[in-house]
Structure 1
Amino acid sequence: MRYVLVEILVLTSLVILELSNAFAPIVSYQWLVSYSQRSILGGNKQIIVINDMFPGPILNATSGDIIVVNIFNNLNEPFLMTWNGLQLRRNSWQDGVLGTNCPILPGRNWTYRFQVKDQIGSYFYFPSLQLQKAAGGYGAIRVFSPELVPIPFPQPDDEFDILIGDWFYADHNDMRASLDTGLSLPTPDGILFNGLGPEEAFFAFEPGKTYRLRISNVGLKTCLNFRIQDHDMLLVETEGSYVQQHIYSSLDIHVGQSYSVLVTAKTDPIGSYRSYYIFASARFTNFYLSGIALIRYPNSPLDPVGPVPLAPGPWDYTSSVQQAQSIRRDLEVGTARTNPQGSYHYGTINISRTLVLQNDVMLSSNKLRYTVNGVSFVNPTTPLKLIDHFQLKDAIIPDMFPIYPSNKTQRFGTSVVDIHYKDFVHIVFENPLDELQSWHIDGYNFFFVGMGFGAWSESKRAGYNLLDAVSRSTVQVYPYSWAAILLAMDNQGMWNVRSQKAENWYLGQELYLRVKGVGQEDPSHISIRDEFPIPENFIHCGQIL
């Protein structure tokens, strides 16, 4: 009887939802996910393509649009797609990770439906299960400003999406099996530009025109330094925030991060043009790898000439930190609305609570695992969102996860932290290891307010940027360092917090934030104004069959 009442409430809420979105434009996509044999970096490999494309189709939308993506899974394994950086307001049902969705089984389809509300910017999508990202399946996302909200720079003559990332010859199933046996991922075999090897990708420039390059690091583990021969880059946006416009000769782009830069093409009064290199090279690693693409002008020779652009020192953390600290939010401009970004005075809001999340490693039966505050995450057989919605017997016990680093014995667990809706939360990521970390929070952008070497302490708050910190969804944490963020918990749902490094994520470096209002323990008490109802087409699995 209880489930019948829940279903009636769901149907009623869906009607209200459709009426409220009656005037929102709908952008629809049909995507067939399948395998394809391709020669990449000179090696033949089975990859994952979308509509026979690698990378997949660009997902174009304008702020306020409703996105409908019907995905047909033609693989021989389960599949889910996640939307890196999209906030999916009030709708974690569409997040596409194992804590919120049952997988799309082979031969089946499922339709994602969500609204890109009050955000703009450059993002990407990728498969979230079973290390499938190592086989491709990713693509770019563009979210444009509404017509009435001007962009804070002249309209570019054209735009290019540039997806860079490390690449492995090995099949993703073999890579996953290697991790399962306790081995770490090997050194990557190369760096790709839009799925292509050295000098296979090129971008056509016309003299004097200005181009917006939307650059994302879609790789598995490697920070990449991006630079263009004899061309400066004007940084204008990162993951939905317009930033103070500064010129950079190179940019460190960490795993999972996205940037937009403006590049002005050269002019030559005698019309003598040549081609130029675009480089992406590995940073902070014991190996050197680089990917190369080309800029070509009309009638220019195919091969560039002259020196290649120099990379920063491979272990030069100081310059990388200085660059990160130089990226500041432009307080005078609007994004998805006309009001300026600086109208939200985050630095004056009282902090409700603090979480300190420390990454580490553990060995279980001599097999490598990654932990957060001593807990290595294990997914339950039923997604957490369904456990919570149907109030199943396998109840979530958030108090089991320590919100500060713990000296207790490292263990396996399903880590969930309860957060009150509308709380203002301070999170510190601590990295006591000698390798770079990259952290992401689904459903949210946060203010990146501070970073430093050594251990974090309460005294570090005095140095936080409480005025114009950049807002983004992925933050790097340097070795033996910390990074601090502030975020307003204004998006109800079950939201994934994870390492963007595929190996760390696969082996347990994640947790979930369960954001609910007071008195909303029962799903029937949740208003559609606060969170969308369970979709009619939700996939059944685990205890919900």
Structure 2
Amino acid sequence: MGGKRNLCSLLLLALLMSCTNGESPYRFYDWNVTYGDIYPLGVKQRGILINGQFPGPQIESVTNDNLIISVFNSLDEPFLISWNGVQQRRNSWQDGVYGTNCPIPPGQNFTYVLQVKDQIGSYFYSPSLAFHKAAGGFGGIKILSRPVIPVPFPPPAGDFTILAGDWYKQNHTDLKAILDGGHDLPFPDGLLINGRGSNGNTFTVDQGKTYRFRISNVGLTTSINFRIQGHKMLLVEVEGTHTLQNIYDSLDIHLGQSYSVLVTADQPPQDYYIVVSTRFTSQILIFSLDVDFLWSEILF
């Protein structure tokens, strides 16, 4: 009898240890990278799509998650993806930068194995070879805090990603040739939000509730200014760090930067605008979205 009890105790101890030392969750993504027709500024262009999407699919994860991202390159040239702001701890060969990461040959795949260890916040991914970023291939990365770790603000009613930046009507190969010839890029032709120009985007909100907007500058050459007409923005996170919570009417967001703001839908129902404009440029590009602010939804 004593032997059976000891055996049961050992099995229970082993079970508890296995639970305690269990791995963090795994999230699996299968991506196919192709060329396809896009019309971000109303002109047909050859864009880079991921699973047929421009921008690409968003990565949604939680601190310490293991991300297994299998990327199949269906382009006719080598391709790499870089994870802007995501820390590569002892695995720099996963960062998607030429020199530490071998390009994915045409018709081949590569599986990125990343762990978002001790990270939270807003980031994005984008191509890192051959000026492919000028054709697309980018998308958002959201890393939430683990449920046991509190964040310094109440949970928002919704969580939206905004990928904004400058854009050119020229093909990315033409832009690359300009740079390879030792010349500066021309002034951009327009600004995009989530891959769209004047045809806009839609976010649904409820009157009086507070929402989180994750804003990244995914452009090529210019800083941008972001604002929402008639609304204040409470800054709560910058590239994975919770900040002092200051209130702003507008925010300057430089190339590659990502911010999180909280916005409360506390204004009377009427038309408002989300406005993105270039900063520190001799010419000014302004992109505004007509906002139809209703009691139940806000249209961008």
TM over 0.5: yes
Contact 1:275 1:301 in 2 (8 A): no
Tell me what 2:278 maps to. 282
Q: Amino acid of the residue matched to residue 292 of structure 1?
A: S
C-alpha distance in structure 2 between counterparts of 1:267 and 1:111, whole Å? 47
Unaligned runs of at least 5 residues, structure 2: 1-19
Q: Amino acid of the residue matched to residue 176 of structure 2?
A: R
Contact 1:204 1:297 in 2 (8 A): no
Contact 1:49 1:56 in 2 (8 A): yes
Tell me what 1:246 maps to. 246
Aligned counterpart for 1:291 among listed residues 279, 282, 287: 287
1:470-506: CA deviation from partner (whole Å, max 9, x where unpaired)? xxxxxxxxxxxxxxxxxxxxxxxxxxxxxxxxxxxxx
**What are the within-5 Å matches in structure 2 for residues 57-456 of structure 1?**
57-198=57-198, 200-266=200-266, 268=268, 273-298=269-294
Contact 2:33 2:74 in 1 (8 A): yes
Task: Give me the identity figure in percent.
Answer: 53
Q: 1:98 to 1:303 in 2, by over 3 A?
A: closer
SS in 1 for 2:39: strand
C-alpha distance in structure 1 between counterparts of 2:59 and 2:248, whole Å? 28
Q: TM-score, normalised by structure 2?
A: 0.89
Q: Amino acid of the residue matched to residue 297 of structure 1?
A: F
Q: 1:265 to 1:199 in 2, by over 3 A?
A: farther
The reply on whether 1:43 has 2:43 as its aligned counterpart is yes
Q: Amino acid of the residue matched to residue 48 of structure 2?
A: I
SS in 2 for 1:175: helix
C-alpha distance in structure 2 between counterparts of 1:22 and 1:293, whole Å? 47
C-alpha distance in structure 1 between counterparts of 2:48 and 2:22, whole Å? 35
Give, in angstroms, the shift of residue 209 of structure 1. 1.0
Tell me what 1:485 maps to. none
Give, in angstroms, the shift of residue 267 of structure 1. 5.6
Q: Amino acid of the residue matched to residue 228 of structure 1?
A: I
Contact 2:29 2:69 in 1 (8 A): yes
Divergent runs of 4+, >4 A: 299-304
Give, in angstroms, the shift of residue 298 of structure 1. 3.5
C-alpha distance in structure 1 between counterparts of 2:126 and 2:114, whole Å? 16
Contact 1:193 1:292 in 2 (8 A): no
SS in 2 for 1:169: coil
Give, in angstroms, the shift of residue 301 of structure 1. 11
Q: Amino acid of the residue matched to residue 179 of structure 2?
A: L
SS in 2 for 1:83: strand
Contact 1:223 1:283 in 2 (8 A): yes
C-alpha distance in structure 2 between counterparts of 1:252 and 1:214, whole Å? 14
C-alpha distance in structure 2 between counterparts of 1:166 and 1:30, whole Å? 28
Q: Amino acid of the residue matched to residue 38 of structure 2?
A: R
Q: 1:163 to 1:294 in 2, by over 3 A?
A: farther
CA RMSD of aligned residues (A): 2.0
SS in 1 for 2:154: coil
Q: 1:296 to 1:28 in 2, by over 3 A?
A: farther
Contact 2:68 2:114 in 1 (8 A): yes
Contact 1:226 1:281 in 2 (8 A): yes
SS in 1 for 2:106: coil
C-alpha distance in structure 1 between counterparts of 2:199 and 2:206, whole Å? 19
SS in 2 for 1:53: coil
Q: 1:296 to 1:68 in 2, by over 3 A?
A: farther
Unaligned runs of at least 5 residues, structure 1: 1-19, 305-545
